[in-house]
Amino acid sequence: MAIDYKKELEGIARNMIFVHDPDLLIKMIVRMMVDKARIAHASFFLHNKEKQGYLLTVTQGSLHKKIPLDLVCIDKDDVLIRFFKDHKSNFIFGREALLFSEAKSALKTNKIKSKTKQQLTQVLYQMELLETVACIPSYFRDELLGLLLLGKKDNEKKFVDEELDFFVALNSSVAMAIRNAQLFKELELELDRKHQLFTRTTVALAAAIEAKDHYTHGHTSRVTNLSMEIAQRMGEKSRKNFDSKFLEDLHISSLLHDIGKIGIPEHILNKRGSLTVGEHNRIKDHPMIGVNILKSIKELEGAVSGVRYHHERFDGKGYPEGLKGDQIPLIASVITVADSFDAMNSDRPYRTALDKAAAINEIRSLSGKQFSPVVADTFLELCREGKI
């Protein structure tokens, strides 16, 4: 059955834009070439900056078991690479492809300069070693991005112009798609690096809070871990896991829930004994101080509500805004339970810690008053299971 190469090219080009992994893209194209054109084998060497050469990325067909992937690398100064960089092979075929049979015939003529003839002889020797009858380069602008090597057709017939034109056109599209996929991957890596930097900065900010408030050492990490445990269990119970954005916001918000304490004088934070009304009011300023510190950071928009509202109460008697019931964002309700339990279970300047059982009973008795019943019930369930 004849192949409609134009239709195949259009279909492949449409699908290529959805593939953002360079290796997967190349594998898809090479497999298609072997299957559709019935070629004994096909291999693709992709430029690798680290190795300063062209690494065998994909191989399909009869050579698949003979050539180990990621171990075969053609040096950037190899004669095969230099040939396509220097000539683009147009001087032989008028197309960006090199056929072993036609090149061998061309060597017998006087149309090729002796220096080029010597180079081409070495190229054909390499092609013979790799059982290759056609080499098709992938150019992105003037850069040689990769090299496609094709073995014989299963029926031993020569490639016709229609097939070669298809391979060249496809390889041209592949070069653009590979470069796009590489740029996408580079962007992902850059975003990941920025995310890691952002996370480390968040942790450093949390450490700065604890360095100022000597009596809350370890409090931030414990609240964060407990908040994440509660959220994950709530997701399981509702059979609808929270999306990654909510969990990330919760993680950051719980790390930074007390960042506003940076703006509270240390003599108040570390005071032994009861606070005056004025000192207590200063402490109550810390959620809004935290909001003012973080509000200019666009990436923290989703996390700020946990910082702002983690001292609100379910009965509306909390601060800073006196929100009630479902008016309180879930992210804040989760942190409230985790924060309160750890505060009760830790020594403070003005009192010694409650034992664990007493702290758990406090959460139980204040469910529906200070704490969201849904969050409190989840916390108590984790306690019964020994997870807390």
Note the pLDDT tens digit of each residue in 147-195.
Answer: 888 888 888 888 888 888 777 777 777 777 777 777 777 777 777 777 7
Cα separation, 19 vs 26, whole angstroms? 10
- Mean pLDDT over residues 369-383, rounded? 96
Whose structure tokens read 């072997």?
34
Q: Does any domain span residue 74?
A: yes
Cα separation, 327 vs 111, whole angstroms? 84
Phi first, then psi: give them for residue 140, nearest 5 degrees: -115, 110
Cα separation, 109 vs 122, whole angstroms? 17
Cα separation, 362 vs 310, whole angstroms? 17
Q: What Å distances lie between residue 33 and 8, 39, 255, 338, 379, CA to CA?
A: 10, 7, 52, 58, 57
> 168 and 256 share a domain?
no
How many residues make up the chain in this entry?
388
**Does residue 266 have a pLDDT over 60?**
yes
**Does residue 129 have a pLDDT over 80?**
yes
Q: How confident is the model at residue 371 (pLDDT cuts 50, 70, 90)?
A: very high
Whether a cis peptide bond, with omega within 30° of 0, leads into 373 is: no
Q: How confident is the model at residue 14 (pLDDT cuts 50, 70, 90)?
A: low
**Does residue 89 have a pLDDT over 60?**
no
> 181 and 221 share a domain?
no
Report which residue type is found at 35. D
> 171 and 223 share a domain?
no
Which is higher by pLDDT, 351 or 277?
A: 277
- Mean pLDDT over residues 51-72, rounded? 71
Q: Does any domain span residue 208?
A: no
CATH, residue 272: 1.10.3210.10
> 39 and 134 share a domain?
yes
Which is higher by pLDDT, 311 or 166?
A: 311
pLDDT digit string (tens) for 94-104?
677 888 888 88
> 289 and 173 share a domain?
no
Whose structure tokens read 């900010």?
205
- CB-CB neighbours of 383 under 10 Å: 17
Phi first, then psi: give them for residue 64, nearest 5 degrees: -55, -40
Are residues 176 and 140 in contact, defined by beta-carbon separation less than 8 angstroms?
yes
> 262 and 308 share a domain?
yes
The residue among 168, 185, 202 that closes a domain is 185
Cα separation, 329 vs 306, whole angstroms? 7
Structure tokens that stand for 159 in this block: 């490639």
Q: Does any domain span residue 195?
A: no
pLDDT digit string (tens) for 207-227?
777 776 666 668 888 999 999
- The pLDDT score that the predictor gives to residue 19 is 67
Cα separation, 140 vs 240, whole angstroms? 45
- The pLDDT score that the predictor gives to residue 84 is 85
Q: How many domains does the chain have?
A: 2
- The pLDDT score that the predictor gives to residue 230 is 96
Max mean pLDDT among 19-23, 64-68, 85-89, 324-328 falls in: 324-328
Cα separation, 192 vs 198, whole angstroms? 10
> 117 and 178 share a domain?
yes
- The pLDDT score that the predictor gives to residue 38 is 82
> 165 and 259 share a domain?
no
Cα separation, 113 vs 106, whole angstroms? 11
> 30 and 92 share a domain?
yes
Cα separation, 7 vs 169, whole angstroms? 12
Ranges of H-type helices in 57-160: 79-87, 90-93, 100-106, 114-129
Cα separation, 382 vs 362, whole angstroms? 15
Supply angle C-alpha 370, 376, 382, rounded to 5: 150
Report which residue type is found at 59. T
- The pLDDT score that the predictor gives to residue 64 is 55
pTM for the whole structure: 0.56
Report which residue type is found at 90. N
Whose structure tokens read 């054909």?
124
State the angle between helix axes of 244-256 and 330-344 in degrees (0 to 180), rounded to the nearest 10: 40
Structure tokens that stand for 96 in this block: 């960006």
Q: Does any domain span residue 91?
A: yes
Q: What Å distances lie between residue 290 and 153, 168, 259, CA to CA?
A: 69, 60, 5
Are residues 171 and 187 in contact, defined by beta-carbon separation less than 8 angstroms?
no
- Mean pLDDT over residues 13-42, rounded? 73
Q: Does any domain span residue 276?
A: yes
Q: Which domain holds residue 128?
A: 5-185
State the angle between helix axes of 301-309 and 244-256 in degrees (0 to 180), rounded to the nearest 10: 50
Q: Does any domain span residue 204?
A: no
Reported in sequence order, the residue ranges of 39-193 that DSSP labels E, i.e. its strands, are 41-48, 53-61, 73-75, 98-99, 134-140, 143-150
Report which residue type is found at 60. Q
Burial of 198 (0-12, 13-18, 19+ CB in 10 A): middle
**Does residue 349 have a pLDDT over 70?**
no
- The pLDDT score that the predictor gives to residue 104 is 86
> 220 and 170 share a domain?
no
> 148 and 237 share a domain?
no
- Mean pLDDT over residues 13-17, rounded? 61
Which is higher by pLDDT, 354 or 110?
A: 354
**Does residue 295 have a pLDDT over 80?**
yes
Q: Does any domain span residue 378?
A: yes
The residue among 166, 185, 204 that closes a domain is 185
The strand order across the sheet containing 98-99 reads 73-75, 53-61, 41-48, 143-150, 134-140, 98-99
> 10 and 55 share a domain?
yes
Pairing of strands 53-61, 41-48: antiparallel
CATH, residue 14: 3.30.450.40
Which is higher by pLDDT, 299 or 335?
A: 335
Q: Does any domain span residue 109?
A: yes
